[in-house]
Structure 1
Amino acid sequence: MSEIVIDQELLKPAQRQIVVIGGGVIGMSTAYFLAEAGHQVALIEQRRNVAEVATLGNSGMLAAASTTPWAINGMRKRILSGLFSQEAGTILNARLSPSLWRWLLRWTSTPELQRYQLHCERMQRLASYSQHILLQLQQQCQLEYEQSHGLLQLFRSEKELAATAPLQAMLSERNVAYSLLDGAAAQALEPALATARSVAGGLYFPELASGNCTLFTKQLKSLAQASGVQFHFDLRVDAVEPQDGRVALKIGGDILHADAVVVAAGTGSARLLKNLGVKVPLQAVKTYTATAAVKNHDVAPKLALQDNAYKVTMARFGERIRIAGVAELGATDTTIDDKALRTLLKVTQDWYPDAANYHNAQMWTGHIPMLADEVPLVGATASSNVYINIGHGGSGWSMALGAAKIVADQISGRSPEIDIDGLTLARYRR
């Protein structure tokens, strides 16, 4: 293996050598903000480029206000009923794994309303901060990543719609712009729903958006390169160890030293953190996307959509539609599960049946890192100069920029711009 060299030319007094592990949207955002803060940054990724794992299959949702935990009251019942259904938003791929069953028990423990709202508040606090940063970044850098504005969360029954009362109360309390729509109003707002089978109503968020996360991440890479970030691909970090006030990274037979390290390696983060004695309930959850070419513009959606019943999203990427969702628990492979495919196709047929060539869609499946409470972990660890940015689950892009800015501020000795209570490892020590 060739030696990794970090250019040490013209180091500023406050400048530190920082290594970011992971080239997804989380790691890429972290590297960008560290470079913007004046540090000398290297990003290490075991694939050949950025955005080649979970980010590649990102749903495209930039949905700060509707960023909520997947696990809701009755999740165990949903999982069990899914075992006997042809379609299901959550699939249990049972296997004899004690760690998986412990995680499932924590994830599906009946959420009390107060605790559910607490997790929602933490996620939305971070996502709203991220949305604010993204708007600033767009204005400064004129980024174009096939974005569209407006998100419609759809409900199939009056019972589903009525169950959103606590969420609506929280949105109103936080002054989030949204409208409660009946079925007719939802179809008037999105004419492509004219042929939908059943629309009980929806929540419309005019300020939320969607876009191509892979394209965004690669544009951020270009900005980071211009700021001096060095990229090292096809390298796997085997271990991270604090050493004499710095941090040593073991990469094959080589050792790389840095002033600080940020672990943002997605599902691979648990392996690196375990060696440091940092144990968190991080689980690799398999999820799916299908990307289909638009065939009929007259009935293709203009707004991003969230299907509340199946937890499936649909987003417009220019001349394509991306359908994303399904949480398959316990699967370690990347084969396409027939039930997952049927679920995605059912949602497309129910809402926009003639919009795209769904049966010729490009399929993707991969694993996303999800904590049992679904709230990310950011910031320092007990190991000197080792930081984390992990566990963003299916809402990774919605929270990426805010999480990255928090970590960059902490490493730079600055106070984060938002309250980070509940976002750090301290929540596991209470």
Structure 2
Amino acid sequence: MKIFVLGGGVIGVTTAYYLAEAGHEVTVFDRQKGPALETSFANAGEVSPGYASPWAGPGIPLKAIKWLLMKHGPLVVRPAFDPHMWTWLLKMLRNCTAERYALNKSRMVPLAEYSRDTLKALRAATGIAYDERTKGTLQLFRTQKQLDGTGGDVEVLKKYGVPYELLDREGCIGAEPALAGVRGKFVGGLRLPGDETGDCKMFTDRMAELCVARGVTFEYGTTISYIVRTRNRIKHINTDKGGLSADAYVMAMGSYSAQFMRKLKRPIPVYPVKGYSITVPVKDVGAAPVSTVMDETYKVAITRLGDRIRVGGTAEISGFDLRLHETRRRTLEHSVGDLFPGGGDLKAASFWCGLRPMTPDGPPLVGQSELSNLYLNTGHGTLGWTMACGSARVLADIISNRVPEINARDLSPDRYLK
């Protein structure tokens, strides 16, 4: 089949790769001058199946109030006259129950685990390199209350067979030696040895090269103005370079997918949640992190990527606003500077933000839409890099009329129609 993939981030490019592997004729469209120049550009760098959990869960509404009042809190809400914002927030609140949390997590973990295994197979088959490391993630607890509250998380990890290590202070230092210099600032941690790290932008660039070698065409610098449907099918797309048609279409435009789906009268509950990051050159290898440390207090991920430290965090609900707020930078600098002082050159850090496409329940939308030749691969939230390979492989199987290797039925947008 001739297939158009709309979106050139990590989700779109990875989808194109697996579609080409399945024998399809694929063209990728993106408004940027190259791949992964928006949300995939400078994310936290984690491939973390162990953290594949919905944001909506029991106790989150009360925690949100606390976070909003913190100086370096992980949550920011900038209210706007936007009915889509408020509708999405209400739907998210409806999912903040123990029953829905368990259901939503049961849909996310298998995809995340499958995606990591698919990524490993891809590395073995192609030799793709992207400053990857396979040294796990350490969730660091600054207070005894945080450490004592891990019981529920541990039970969930046991249920899904996710390897874990509950560490005391010395155990944390064993995993991340640079923490020895700040041993008084934390009490313990939860380590997930199966998690990985890597540069998402570098990975997507390499994947685009692999795609081209397999016959995929990339139309960069091409803006899609609107999508034309006739009855229950997509007829063609209109771009600034003219109208173009294919047999099937994949919507992989992140948060912007929702805008196009509304115009098609087939709305999806995906809303942007802005995240920030700084990329810090390593100044002292011995004082820098080995892999990823998740600062539980500020919900900030500190990840080693080659000769850089990527520090990512914040959930800012402010629509499609891409302004960089210095208060968010100070939060990221505070976390990494407090735990790894001297590890990186903060004065030389670059500052960035991106729009994570979030669903109110947590799992992404992967599958056929209500339109017969339009497929969705969006809504991954903070787990786009974690779930990219698995989502792409699942969707390529669906489009190719093959049975996916995992149960993908509940990832379909149909779940919102029930």
- Structure 1 stretch displaced more, 229-238 or 150-159: 150-159
Q: Compute the displacement of 1:117 (Å).
A: 2.2
Which one of the candidate residues 342, 356, 361 is aligned to 1:373? Answer: 361
Q: Identify the range of structure 1 (100-109 vs 25-34) with the bigger mean alpha-carbon deviation.
A: 100-109
TM-score (norm 1): 0.92
CA separation in 1, counterparts of 2:319 and 2:50? 30
Q: Deviations over 1:30-53 (max 9, x none)?
A: 110000000000000011111000
Counterpart amino acid of 1:233? Y
Q: Show the 5 A alignment for 1:167-206.
A: 167-196=153-182, 197-206=184-193
Q: Work out which of the residue numbers 127, 142, 151 in structure 1 matches 2:137.
A: 151
Instruction: Could you tell me which runs of 5 or more consecutive residues in structure 2 were left unpaired when the two chains were aligned.
Output: none
**Structure 2 residue aligned with 1:272, among 260, 274, 280?**
260
Q: Return the alpha-carbon distance in structure 2 between the equivalents of residues 393 and 174 of structure 1.
A: 21
2:212 corresponding residue in structure 1:
225
- Between the aligned partners of 1:417 and 1:110, the Cα distance in structure 2 is 28
**Greater shift in the superposed pair: 210-219 or 63-72:** 63-72
AA aligned opposite 1:212: D
1:189 to partner: Cα distance: 2.3
Decide whether the 8 Å contact of 1:239 with 1:249 is kept in 2: yes
Letter in 2 for 1:177: P
Q: How does 1:338-349 map to 2 (within 5 A)?
A: 338-349=326-337
Q: Deviations over 1:92-144 (max 9, x none)?
A: 11222222122122224472223212222211111111111111110111111
Which position in structure 1 is the counterpart of 2:121? 136
Which whole-Å CA distance do the structure 1 matches of 2:327 and 2:337 have between them?
15
- AA of the residue aligned to 1:97: D
TM-superposed CA distance for 1:164, in Å, is 2.4
Structure 1 residues 280 and 243: CA distance shift in structure 2, 3 A: closer
Offset at 1:331? 4.7
Equivalent in the alignment of 1:361: 349
Aligned match of 2:269: 281
- The one-letter code matched in structure 2 to 1:309 is T
Determine if contact 1:247/1:385 at 8 Å carries over to the other structure: no
Q: Which letter maps to 2:42?
A: G
Match of 2:27 in 1: 42
Question: Do structure 1's residue 209 and structure 2's residue 196 form an aligned pair?
Answer: yes
Letter in 2 for 1:259: D
User: Match for 2:321: what amino acid?
Assistant: D
Counterpart position of 1:333: 321
Deviation (angstroms), 1:65 = 1.7
Alignment counterpart, residue 67 of structure 1, candidates 44, 49, 52: 52
Query: Partner letter of residue 245 of structure 2?
Result: H
- Using the TM superposition, name which of 101-110 and 375-384 deviates more: 101-110
Q: Secondary structure at the match of 1:56?
A: coil
Three-state SS of the structure 2 residue aligned to 1:55 is: coil
Give me the whole-angstrom Cα distance separating, in 2, the residues matched to 1:34 and 1:42. Answer: 10
CA distance in 2, matches of 1:411, 1:343: 43
RMSD of aligned residue pairs (Cα, Å): 1.7
Once residues 200 and 286 of structure 2 are traced to their aligned partners in structure 1, the CA distance between those partners, rounded to angstroms, is 26
Please report the TM-score for the alignment, with normalisation by the length of structure 2: 0.95
Task: Find the partner of 2:306 among 301, 311, 318.
Answer: 318
Query: Residue 218 of structure 2: SS of its match in structure 1?
Result: strand
Distance 1:200 1:114, change over 3 A: farther
Which amino acid is the alignment partner of residue 111 of structure 2?
L
Q: Could you tell me how far apart the structure 1 residues matched to 2:26 and 2:320 are?
A: 32
In the alignment, residue 133 of structure 2 is paired with which amino acid? S
For residue 349 of structure 1, report the CA deviation from its aligned partner.
2.4
More displaced, 245-254 or 385-394? 245-254
* Contact 1:26-1:404 at 8 Å conserved across structures: yes
Supply the AA of the counterpart residue of 1:368.
Answer: R
- Which residue is 1:160 aligned to? 146
Between stretches 55-64 and 182-191, larger displacement belongs to 182-191
Cα gap change, 1:118 to 1:167, in 2 (>3 Å) = farther
Q: CA deviation at 1:359?
A: 3.3
Alignment-derived partner of residue 100 in structure 1: 85
Please tell me whether the aligned partners of residues 249 and 256 of structure 1 are also in contact (alpha carbons under 8 angstroms). yes
Structure 1 position 55 matched with structure 2 position 40: yes
Residues 277 and 329, structure 2, Cα contact 8 Å, conserved in 1: no
Q: By how many angstroms is 1:222 displaced?
A: 0.6
> Percent identity between the aligned chains?
35
User: What does 1:341-420 correspond to in 2, within 5 Å?
Assistant: 341-420=329-408
Shift of 1:261: 0.2
Is 1:28 the equivalent of 2:13? Answer: yes
